[in-house]
Amino acid sequence: MAQRILLIEDEEKLARVVELELGYEGYEVTKAADGREGLTLAIAGGFDLILLDIMLPLLSGMEVLRRLRKSSSVPVIMLTARDSVTDKVSGLDYGADDYVTKPFEIEELLARIRRALRHGQASSENELLECGALKMDVPRREVTVNGSAVGLTKREFDLLGYLLKNKGIVITREQLLDKVWDIDFDGGTNTVDVYIRFLRGKIDDAFGIKLISTVRGVGYVIKDEPQEGGANGV
């Protein structure tokens, strides 16, 4: 089945060119010309990737991203009009996966799309991963706890997915860096701790559950708690 891309872009000419080129490559493209329509479509879901312009009518791209990330981890590539460092940094802070500066070569955009989609599928052998109240729908990139959606960035999603796939096995920081981050990533193992903290904030703390355990001096593990009949006293 064709991979579906949502293009949120108000410059009609650019949107048509991108739609055409992506169509040639076999992607199925849906267009939205303002932020509000884009957000509605994005939240409705069913897209494998979203291309999101920053300067949009009605709702800015940054605001679309911020709201979308409350419930979805779909890969997002920002299209920035200016070579603005601020836009890139805040885009990545809000959970964008990548950005392309206009004007861009279509080949560059295609390469980034392929890369983002590859990352998105890195952990999709099992369609549904779960642990206790937490469920991860891998193809839809959706995470819920007791049915409530958890908005994760792509990296957080991939990290959680890797730990869930290896449930019960202690994974070292080095393994996580190797499997979840780019091979050429040189951020060091502290980065893993930072992202574990993000995940705990959004899941463990937000829902009052204990999902991710630290194994001191080794790494991290997600375990199914043994189901016991009585109430636990903790």
Interface residues with Ca ion (CB under 5 A)? 10, 53, 55
* Between 55 and 110, CB nearer to Ca ion: 55
The tokens of 16 are what?
A: 């048509």
- Chain residue whose CB lies nearest Ca ion: 55
Closer CB to Ca ion, 59 or 159, in the complex: 59
CB of residue 93 to Ca ion, shortest distance in Å? 20
Closer to Ca ion at the Cβ: 34 or 193?
A: 34
Q: Which long-range contacts (CB under 8 A, 24 or more apart) does 147-150 make?
A: 148/207, 149/70, 149/71, 149/72, 150/202, 150/203, 150/206
Q: In whole angstroms, how close is the CB of 39 to Ca ion at the nearest point? A: 15
Q: Which is nearer to Ca ion, 10 or 193 (CB)?
A: 10
Spatial separation of the C-alpha atoms in residues 154 and 149, rounded to whole Å? 15
Contact (Cβ atoms closer than 8 angstroms) between residue 78 and residue 98: yes
Q: How far is the CB of 89 from Ca ion (least distance, A)?
A: 19
Q: Find the shortest distance in angstroms from Cβ 226 to Ca ion.
A: 54
Two tokens at 40? 């509605």
Apex 14 CA angle, 43 and 47, nearest 5: 25
